[in-house]
Chain A
Amino acid sequence: MLKTVSKTGLVFFPAFDWAIDPTHPEREERLLYTQDQVFEEGLLDIDGIVEYKPDMATIQDIRRVHFCAPDEWSVLTESHLISAGGAKTIGIEVMEKRVKRGFALVRPPGHHAMRVVHGSRGFCNINIEAIMIEYLRETYNIDRVAIVDTDCHHGDGTQDIYWHDPNTLFISLHQDGRTLYPGTGFCYEMGGATAAGTTINIPLPPNTSEEGFLYALDHAILPILEDFKPQLIVNSAGQDNHYTDPITNMNFSAQGYAELTRRLKPDIAVLEGGYSIETALPYINVGIIMALAEMDFSRVREPDYQPEKIRQSRETGREIERVVEEVLDCWRKGPETREKYLAGKPFVPRGRSIFYDTDNILETQKENLRVCGDCGGVLSIDSETDTGYHIFAVHIPRKACKACQEMGYQWYDSADAKIYHQIFLQDRTHDQYLVRKA
């Protein structure tokens, strides 16, 4: 009888009745062939692989992470609550030690969803990993978390949510933003004033193959994780680095994904993108499940897999080595950068535009962070869309000091209701969320 080495939990939720629209990559058919392969391989019968029914995330779970404008039900569907809930279910099973690791094989994805949500961008509405992590922090008293995003697209949503959080290490490994949506994720994006260094971006050149990914893993990701010492490692397991993916240009494989998972040893993996639904996903997912369970995955491969055909060039290899050097440099510079900010101005503003490609909305944001030596610092966001919706949001971080807490409530109370459609307060110290309407 087949047995796993590590007991592994699985939530499989293919949402066979939900699509962004009928021909969109994020459609009913996306996990159909993955289901076929997982069922035919008999993975769910293996002793040590446990399938769970997903819970539904609650509105409170979402408010812990997001400011949804005008409200949650305007920007999401039940399917998003199940997808986030599936990640949460796996998180609970891992924290309760009923399984050693877990994989939320769910859709729709979430890593492009930022703290403020006006709509859908990059097929994402709410950030399913962040919702899970903040639930686990609230329930199980965990503090230091690392997220390793191996989707081909920069995980700009997750980066945004944890930009100012020194206790969350966010590492994104992706195709260079100069050649792919969302066009961000450069090495110099390394976190806000009080969390500089805990955002790590590893932009890889197009056509990176197995050796390139594993090089970046061994030489950058694993050493940085070793330094950071997280209590929990979450893998945003996007699968669009595959050599057959229709919307990206990388040369990764099922064997590569499985090997990466084996070396990374994430506690929790959550599916993100991946749109080569027939020739990649069925094999990658089987590989990832077996790698999490520490089973022999050496025979899991695509029918047309020929490693020599997808091997990266020597120039690509050299470029990756250069990027890894730059990444390590950023990581080392984190502490001194923070010191510099602390010695500088008491508030740091940040202004930017965010485009919601899926829903065609342009948002303009003005952030203001209190540079606090005692906590991540209270944050305010003034956000206005080109459709004319204007909100003001205050985020009091989980471990906020007294001064930041008081300032947060003062900002919330004194915001001018005549200017804004809505004013939000997210008080993570009390798990409390307030909304004022004009």
Chain B
Amino acid sequence: MIIGLDVGGTHTDVVLIGEDCILRQSKVPTNPSNLFESVWTALEEVTRDVPPESIRRAVLSTTLTTNAIAEQKMVEAAMIVSGGPGIDPECFRTGRHYFSVSGSINHRGREIQPVDPMEIEAIAALLKSEGVRHVGVVSKFSVRNPKHEIVIRDILGNDFENIVLGHRLSGNLSFPRRIATTYLNASVYPVHKKFFQAVQDSLQKKGLNIPIFILKADGGTMSLEASLNSPGQTILSGPAASVMGSLPFSSETDETLVLDIGGTTTDMAVLIRRVPLLDPVGSEVGGYKTLIRSLKTYSIGLGGDSTVRIVDGKLKIGPDRQGRAMAYGGPFPTPTDALFVLGKASNGDVEAARRGIQPLAEQLGMSLEDTANRIFDQACNMILEAAARMIDDINSKPVYTVQELLEGYQVKPKEILVLGGPAPYFAFRLAAMTEFQVHVVPQWNVANALGTGMAKNTCELTLFADTERGIAIAPEEQYYQQVKKDFDRQKAVDLAFKLLKDKCLQEGASESELEMEVLEDLQFNMVRDFYTTGKNIRIKVQIKPGLIPEFRDIAERLFNFCPLPGAN
């Protein structure tokens, strides 16, 4: 049995998955001021009377780190950055404790200016005196040569609780994003650690000694232990949970647009033949552009509870939510109230909904039904327009080779999968308005928890080799090797795969999950004075996001609910 648990903004969903169906499912209200309590309540409910040894794993997706950033409740980590020539690192200041220090590495990974140990010692002394316990260290081009980050950490010594080094978090280039990513990882570390320590302790106390996995923003999982090295990867895992849950119902041959229509927002993502599309650089969260690997998602302020009003004689929906729909006792009319007026929803106060829409109808000079239809259609159109913008954005991503430009691969989804509260109504209307095949994800109310439970491990690895300098490095893995002139692209790919496999197993993956693929594979002849002096090789490999293999083929059946005896 597997537990999948997704903490959302309003509800926490949990499922207990058996061999080929859902054994238990539950929804408890999320208590934002005490997430642990919500998680624990949900876990207790779903594991009641279940023999601990029959639970293979539990996968959790939480808004813990996302909220910590949004509400500025994280510990402000100190940052030590060395830039060298280029944009002034002061432009990327993260907070009060931000130190731009000397030292410089160039694009080839060569040291231009060494670190000044006295400068770092002085900073260390200052931070200690101010009681700062968490530090991030970033140097420009550290993914080409991490020496300066390592030197700085060694000087800082053992006097700090946690020191995060930029090159360990991503192999991608971008000094400003590396700074932001390192800062977030260092800053959410304490809250992440405390939370999961509590979960683990409580489970042990209860005698449930089960492996815990955490869902990442890229739709993959990692073990709890691994998450302590990069808690930043859990930021924005929420949208990933629903997307993973919709995977079994998506087309195996075409591209799919996934719409998760919630109360406040509609989140969108794209699947390419059942594989979710990732953001090419990294996610953007709370105003920080990062190198955190994540699904390419897009969110608009439009949901079932969005406020509907008239502005300058025109109907306006969202982007704010002032409460629930009037049909459920809320203060303002919403698209959900329009559904009540149209008779598509009935489990609430229809009269209240009508009272909400009536003033809008009067201002527009239209009938109540026409107004409700207009609201509904406008909401659908807003979703479709946003989806078109997202797909445009994906398709206008620049490419850097003649071949890729000529091939001109374009994403063109043919179907839409809808999840969320008003999913069935929207699906029906969207189907009528467009050429898309539109489907509702069955059991959409627990699809997020199911997706969380079924997601497999994902990993990415970057390998950089420069045979003129005689080096091959995989910065994220602290891997460094001297190579000879005969080192080439094929050897580099083989090495990258080997390192990727080690990394995954370390992060708690099982052998069967290791579906490896090459994302980028470039080799350049380096020529100096008309002679070839070496090869410059850049490799990026990954484990594709997806569902754990044993569930992939039976995933559709899994969505059947076959309650355990004794379940509520």
Contacts and interface: CB of A to CB of B under 8 A. Distances in A.
Which of A22, A45, A53, A303 has the largest count of B CB atoms less than 10 A from its CB? A303
A43 B86 CA distance: 10
Nearest to A85: B405
Contacts of A23: 525, 527, 530-532
B536 A32 contact: yes
Interface string B400-430: 1111011000000000000000000000000
B347 interface: no
Contacts of B173: 36, 39-40
A282 B398 contact: no
Nearest to B524: A29
B216 interface: no
A299 B400 contact: no
Interface in B501-531: 522, 524-527, 529-531
Contact of B85 (A35, A283, A290): A283
B403 A17 contact: yes
Contacts of A296: 88
A344 B231 CA distance: 82
Interface string B136-149: 00001100000000
Contacts of B531: 23
Contacts of A278: 107-108
Given A29-B536, A53-B398, A79-B402, A299 B176 contact: no
Interface string B172-190: 1111110000000000000
A40 B140 contact: yes
A286 B86 contact: yes
A296 B400 CA distance: 28
A278 B527 CA distance: 11
Interface string B56-98: 0000000000000000000000000000111110011000000
Interface stretch (A7-15, A90-98, A388-396): A7-15
A265 B141 CA distance: 31
B399 to A, nearest CB: 7
Interface in A1-43: 1-2, 11-18, 22-23, 27-29, 32-33, 35-37, 39-42
Given A36-B107, A42-B175, A299 B398 contact: no
A35 B106 contact: no
A45 B180 CA distance: 13
B327 to A, nearest CB: 41
A16 B174 contact: no
Interface in B184-209: none
Nearest to B527: A23
A52 interface: yes
Which of A12, A13, A40, A42 has the largest count of B CB atoms less than 10 A from its CB? A40
27 contacts: A1-B287, A2-B91, A13-B405, A15-B400, A17-B401, A18-B402, A23-B525, A23-B531, A28-B524, A28-B525, A29-B527, A36-B107, A40-B141, A40-B173, A40-B175, A41-B86, A42-B87, A42-B175, A45-B174, A45-B177, A45-B289, A52-B398, A82-B405, A278-B108, A290-B87, A299-B85, A300-B86
Contacts of A39: 172-174
Interface in A383-435: none
Which of A22, A41, A301 has the largest count of B CB atoms less than 10 A from its CB? A41
Interface residues of B, number: 43
Interface string A28-69: 110011011101111001000001111010000000000000
A74 B176 CA distance: 45
A225 B403 CA distance: 40
A359 interface: no
B525 A37 contact: no
B106 A303 contact: yes
Contact of A16 (B289, B522, B529): B522
Contacts of A283: 85
A37 B83 CA distance: 12
B107 A246 contact: no
B525 A53 contact: no
A16 B527 contact: no
A78 interface: yes
Contacts of A82: 402, 405
Interface of A: 1-2, 11-18, 22-23, 27-29, 32-33, 35-37, 39-42, 45, 51-54, 56, 77-79, 82, 246, 278, 282-283, 286, 290, 296, 299-303, 305
Given A23-B532, A40-B174, 10 more contacts: A12-B398, A12-B400, A22-B525, A23-B527, A39-B174, A40-B107, A40-B141, A42-B175, A45-B176, A303-B106
B402 A15 contact: yes
Nearest to B397: A53
Nearest to B287: A1
A67 B354 CA distance: 72
B104 interface: yes
A303 B402 contact: no
A41 B403 CA distance: 27
A301 B87 CA distance: 10
B527 A42 contact: no
A1 B85 CA distance: 19
Contacts of A305: 85
A278 B173 CA distance: 17
Which of B86, B175, B522 has the largest count of A CB atoms less than 10 A from its CB? B86
Given A2-B91, A299-B86, A35 B400 contact: yes
B530 A15 contact: no
A53 B86 contact: no
B460 to A, nearest CB: 17
Nearest to B86: A41
Contacts of B397: 53
A281 B38 CA distance: 55
Contacts of B562: none
B108 A78 contact: no
A18 B84 CA distance: 32
B98 to A, nearest CB: 15
Interface string B156-185: 000000000000000011111100000000
A236 B255 CA distance: 42
Contacts of B122: none
A1 B525 CA distance: 37
Contacts of B129: none
A335 B532 CA distance: 53
Contact of B112 (A11, A13, A54, A303): A303
B159 to A, nearest CB: 30
A82 B397 CA distance: 15
A299 B107 contact: no
B527 A299 contact: no
A43 B397 CA distance: 16
Contacts of A56: 405
A285 B28 CA distance: 55
Contacts of B177: 42, 45
A77 B405 CA distance: 13
A87 to B, nearest CB: 15
Contacts of A14: 400
Contacts of B92: 2
Nearest to B143: A40
Contacts of A53: 396-399, 405
Contacts of B405: 13, 53-54, 56, 78, 82
A345 B188 CA distance: 83
A56 B287 CA distance: 35
Contacts of B402: 15, 17-18, 77-79, 82
Nearest to B84: A303
A12 B529 CA distance: 26
Contacts of B525: 22-23, 27-29
Contacts of B398: 11-13, 51-54
A301 B85 contact: yes
Contacts of A282: 107
B87 A2 contact: yes
> What are the 5 closest A-B residue pairs judged by CB atoms, nearest first?
A42-B176, A39-B173, A36-B107, A303-B112, A17-B401
A290 B86 CA distance: 10
A305 B85 CA distance: 10
